[in-house]
Amino acid sequence: MQMNKAVFLDLNGTLVLPLRQESLAEMELIPGIDLAVAKLLTANFICPVVTIQSGIGKGRFTEREFRDWFAAFFGKLKLDVKGPYICPHRFAEDCICKKPKPFLYEQAVKDYAIDLSGSYTIGDTSWDVLAGKNMGGHGCLVRTGCTENEMEYRKAKPHAAYVGQTLDDVVQWILKTEQSGTTV
Ligand SMILES: [Zn+2]
């Protein structure tokens, strides 16, 4: 069977802001990310979005409302990202799906026949980076969102295959790495 390569994308702090929204209407695209994600899709990467949405667990919005928002938001941008793969639980809950646990990523792997060892994660927290590393792929850190904070940055950096100032930095690094055929 043909295996696909994936770039797993975090949502809040990586594609959109704020980090934790009170309502879905607050969600705004981080400037330039649409063009960066389009480059990945053009290069035939599957791009599943893996996200912690504790607002669902807190009753701020429902999972259905979140999924509808997601489809409309990325549909309007004409970006064929997959998912969303959602952890709906509160941060303090010890659930099976919270990053960096592999549960949500494994669902995408099954849905799209993804080869994890040739795949990447991009996110703004140590959880995103660790998830990619632990699955045998490459965890990439972007310094938007959480890692504008120096403490989170220091926690994530030792595990990162690459650190970019913007999503486009990271995307360019991934495309270059793929072209040169080097493993990191
Ligand atoms: Zn969960």
Residues at Cβ < 5 Å from ligand 1 ion: 87, 89, 95, 97-98
Mean pLDDT throughout 42-51? 97
Residue 146 has pLDDT above 90, yes or no: no
Encode pLDDT of 76-116 as tens digits.
999 999 999 999 999 888 999 999 999 999 999 999 999 99
CATH classification code of 7-180: 3.40.50.1000
Mean pLDDT throughout 67-75? 98
* pLDDT bucket at 148, cuts 50 / 70 / 90: confident
Query: Which pairs from 91-94 meet CB under 8 Å and 24+ separation?
Result: 91/52, 91/54, 93/57
For residue 99, how far is its CA from the centre of ligand 1 (angstroms)? Answer: 8
Mean pLDDT in the chain? 94
Residue 71 has pLDDT above 60, yes or no: yes
Residue 31 has pLDDT above 80, yes or no: yes
Mean pLDDT throughout 39-43? 97
For residue 97, how far is its CA from the centre of ligand 1 (angstroms)? Answer: 4
For residue 49, how far is its CA from the centre of ligand 1 (angstroms)? Answer: 15
**Given the structure tokens 């509160």, which residue do they identify?**
90
Mean pLDDT throughout 151-157? 94
Mean pLDDT throughout 151-167? 95
Q: Which pLDDT does position 183 carry in this prediction? A: 52
Q: Which pLDDT does position 154 carry in this prediction? A: 95
Q: Which pLDDT does position 182 carry in this prediction? A: 58
